Chains A and B, each alone.
Chain A
Amino acid sequence: MIHAKINHIDVVVEEGTTILEAAKKYNINIPTLCHYPDLHINSDCRICVVEIDGYRGLKTSCSTPIRDGMMIKTNSPRVLNSRKTVTELILANHDVNCTSCTRNMNCELQQLSKNLGIDTSRFDNVLEYKDIDDQNPSIVRNPNRCIKCGRCVDVCQHVQGMHVLERMGRGHDMDISPAFGLPLNDQSCSFCGQCANVCPVGAIIEKDNTNLVWEKLHDPTKHVMVQIAPAVRVSIGEEIGLESGLISNGKLVAAMKHLGFNHVYDTNFTADLTIMEEGTELISRINNGGTLPLMTSCCPGWINMAEQEFPEILPHISSCKSPQQMFGTLAKSYYATKTNMDPEDIYVVSVMPCTAKKYEATREEFSVDGKHPDVDVVITTRELGKMFRQMGIDVNRLPEVEFDSPFGITTGAAALFGASGGVTEAALRTVYEIVNERPLEDIVFNSVRGMDGLKEAEVNLAGTTVKVAVSHSLSNARKLIEEVIAGKSPYTFIEIMACPGGCIGGGGQPYGTTNEVREHRLASTYIVDGNMIYRKSHQNPDIHKLYEEYLQQPNSHIAHKLLHTDYQYRKKRT
């Protein structure tokens, strides 16, 4: 054990602990900027410097291990002066038009400046304006707001293994950019948005679609309906000042109605539908010698990576559209027919935890008639929070309201789609019962739950033991993909989600999504599942009704036409 003193307080910590960690343990707050809990330590920003007796310069507490007998000062005049100067220098090379920035009042640099008491600037602003990259439907990169902390680079390279963003140049000319300074759209970017989620400032943000939604909400000729993804309900609370975790669906639905949506629906319904279609596809591939392993298709970040980098893998991917797209299709076909409405008058909004969903919705093939997109516009959890604030809606004080029909009943299985392993668990609950023609006793598959990067489970289908695998974060996915391409995959079914933790850790989720927060959202997701009356997709009575009235049966001709798709190799720079 190491014995040292921080600000005259005796600290005892294990060897290898950094000064920052030791201080935190003793409730001593050292400000940081480039540091992010689950990422590598870069010590780029020098905000967390401390003074140590006998050491010549100030040391970065994030990267300096505490040693026996160290006398550390975290708030000496020298330290405070240094922090202040560093912050002022960052601000001198930063687009400081805070009031016109998405991150206003939610910006780590702004908060730091405030905490350090910076109210005047000693330095002239020397920022040379660079072009903003907003050429894709998902992510906007504004280099004028970049403070070069390197979090986006780390998450893109090490968590996602995509290597789209890199440091270019050296010294004060260093810049963060894709290869050749090309826009993200020309790169093999998955649009997962993890970079936007960890960015401390407004340099990488989602493409804001809230104005499009407002416009349609105020258009009396449009019937505006909204679907809410399973992962949004366990994180939206953070946008409205609650602890990470659960918020009641009822209050969320009520708040959406206050925004002016004509109908509020649950994407969980089409998650159940996905299980019916994908489960049937899996059984048919097993029985008919189809391409195996079958890989899930719900996650557009993973689909982007597969289409851009791994053309060999495309036959393995389920032909099912994602639940978001299935919902849009049904809205403009089944629902339009049922209610005698022109698809032209129906406007479908999705609230998703995801930035890649914005891209997915713009894909040309996702349209019932070639004219009307299945989903018209996608907003993220963060944008929904913004809309609540714009309207001054106090979600917590609203009386509960139910989701609308005809997609009203959903299951616990569908709720699990928000969590890594959830699609697998939901699929197994249904496939097991259909194939074995007997009830599944223990419906909780613990081995595919939690934050392990690669998870697997076994299930007995008609006397054969079948192995399934689950991965989340694209760097983990690569391992499974390479195994499949090499023909060495022992699995029959593989679930891939691009973001750590699955959709609950998506790129469009509230800021501050650390692994600790992900755990809370996962726990909430499992509570949602546990509280449902129906917990298996094939038991959903509304799903049965939908097949009876419209889709006939899973994988029928009409189901194929509306709910399935195919994939193309889209070569990009990698």
Chain B
Amino acid sequence: MSIQQIIQSYPAKSEYLLEMLIAVDQQKKHHYISAEEINEIASYVKVKESHVCSVMSFYTLLSTQPRGEYVIQVCKDVPCYINDDFNVVLTIEEELGIVLGQTTNCGRFSLEQTACIGCCDEAPAMRINHEIYTNLTKEKVLDIIHTLRGDANGRTT
């Protein structure tokens, strides 16, 4: 489906804005919604671009800037922080050779943090695209990255 078709498959009401944005994001290899797409969505649901940007900026799931094929988002809330005895972020930074907020040169991985993803009982946790990984250990984190690296299709969902 084209982006336009996705947008128009929803009623032209601002209540559907978030669903629309997530659906568009899922179609995009680099997990971002461009200024032109934002303009299209905004005029379709009759809100201003600033409103769409504001909604998007609230959710770490969405971005206006191109990101890697895999967007790794490490939970930064308290239970994950407390249970993180090996430093998830540092492990990934060292493995990928990037720091928080960056994308690898090959364009495959971005590393970010996110607010709570609802897995406090299985902390520490992270989300990669729409997949959740919990009870993380250093080995598990490295395993996940190695598997994704070997995955030629480039998507987990």
Contacts and interface: CB of A to CB of B under 8 A. Distances in A.
Interface of A: 163-171, 178-180, 187, 573-574
8 contacts: A164-B48, A166-B50, A168-B53, A169-B57, A179-B50, A180-B64, A187-B50, A574-B49
B51 A170 contact: no
Contacts of B53: 166, 168, 179-180
Contact of A170 (B39, B57, B64): B57
A166 B54 contact: yes
Interface in B43-67: 47-54, 57-58, 64
B144 to A, nearest CB: 27
B35 A163 contact: no
Interface string B26-40: 000000000100110
Q: Which 6 A-B pairs have the closest CB atoms?
A: A163-B48, A166-B50, A179-B50, A179-B49, A166-B54, A168-B57
Most buried by B among A164, A166, A179, A187: A179
Contacts of A574: 42, 48-49
Nearest to B48: A163
A9 to B, nearest CB: 42
A478 B150 CA distance: 56
A166 B50 CA distance: 6
A179 B37 CA distance: 13
B42 to A, nearest CB: 8
Contacts of B23: none
Contact of B58 (A164, A170, A187): A170
A159 to B, nearest CB: 15
B35 A167 contact: no
B140 to A, nearest CB: 28
Interface residues of B, number: 16
B36 to A, nearest CB: 11
B115 interface: yes
A559 B39 CA distance: 42
A467 to B, nearest CB: 29
Nearest to B43: A574
B98 to A, nearest CB: 20
Most buried by B among A164, A165, A180: A180
B50 A169 contact: no
Nearest to B58: A170
Nearest to B55: A166
Contacts of A187: 50
Nearest to A175: B57
A160 to B, nearest CB: 12
A180 B50 CA distance: 8
B46 to A, nearest CB: 11
Given A170-B115, A180-B35, A180-B64, A163 B50 contact: yes
Nearest to A574: B48
Contacts of A170: 57-58, 115
B58 A165 contact: no
Contacts of B64: 180
A573 B36 CA distance: 10
Contacts of A167: 54
A173 to B, nearest CB: 9
Most buried by A among B35, B38, B48, B53: B48
Given A163-B51, A179-B52, A187-B50, 14 more contacts: A164-B48, A166-B50, A167-B54, A168-B53, A170-B57, A170-B58, A178-B50, A180-B49, A180-B53, A180-B64, A573-B39, A574-B42, A574-B48, A574-B49
Contacts of B54: 166-168
A169 B59 CA distance: 8
Contacts of B115: 170-171
Most buried by A among B35, B48, B50, B53: B50
Contacts of B50: 163-166, 178-179, 187
A187 B53 CA distance: 13
A555 B52 CA distance: 46
A47 to B, nearest CB: 24
A169 B49 contact: no
Nearest to B60: A170
A168 B51 CA distance: 9
Contacts of B52: 179
Most buried by A among B38, B47, B58: B58
A185 B99 CA distance: 34
A178 B35 CA distance: 13
Nearest to B53: A179
Most buried by A among B42, B47, B49, B52: B49
A210 to B, nearest CB: 31
Contacts of B58: 169-170
B57 A573 contact: no
Contacts of A166: 50-51, 53-54
A312 to B, nearest CB: 16
Contacts of B39: 573
A167 B57 CA distance: 9
A110 to B, nearest CB: 29
A166 B38 CA distance: 15
B32 to A, nearest CB: 12
A239 B20 CA distance: 50
Contact of B48 (A169, A171, A179): A179
A574 B46 CA distance: 11
Nearest to B65: A180
B127 to A, nearest CB: 17
B65 to A, nearest CB: 10
Nearest to B42: A574
A574 B38 CA distance: 11
B117 to A, nearest CB: 14
B95 to A, nearest CB: 26
A269 B110 CA distance: 64
A573 B39 CA distance: 8
